[in-house]
Amino acid sequence: MPQVQVRPAVSADLPILTALDHSYTTEHVWQMESRQEGEAIHVTFRQVRLPRSVRVSPPRDPHGLAEAWNRRLCFLVAEDGGHLQGYVNLMPAGFPDSAWIADLGVERRFRHMGVGSVLLAAALQWARANGLQRVILETQSKNHPAICFAQKHGLVYCGYNDRYYPNQDVALFFGAHLK
pLDDT tens for 94-140 read 888 999 998 899 999 999 999 999 999 999 999 999 999 999 999 99
d(CA 116, CA 105): 7
Residues 166, 59 contacting (CB under 8 angstroms): yes
Q: Give pLDDT, residue 41.
A: 94
Low-confidence ranges of the chain (pLDDT < 50): none
Q: Which of 122, 123, 110, 120 is nearest to 80 (CA)?
A: 110
Question: In 10 A of CB 165, how many CB atoms?
Answer: 15
Q: Rounded to two decimals, what is the model's pTM?
A: 0.92
What value, to the nearest 5°, has the Cα angle with vertex 126 and ends 155 and 109?
A: 65
d(CA 35, CA 158): 19
Q: Give pLDDT, residue 179.
A: 79
Residues 122, 101 contacting (CB under 8 angstroms): no
Q: Give pLDDT, residue 158.
A: 95
Q: Give pLDDT, residue 148.
A: 96
Whole-angstrom CA distances from 72 to 41, 56, 128, 159 are 36, 26, 16, 23
d(CA 148, CA 138): 13
d(CA 79, CA 95): 32
Whole-angstrom CA distances from 2 to 58, 119, 129, 141, 147 are 25, 11, 23, 28, 22
d(CA 107, CA 103): 13
Rounded CA Rg of the chain: 17
Torsional sign, CA 105, 108, 112, 114: negative
- DSSP state letter for 94: S
Which CATH fold would you assign to the domain 5-20+59-177?
Answer: Aminopeptidase (3.40.630)
Q: Give pLDDT, residue 2.
A: 58
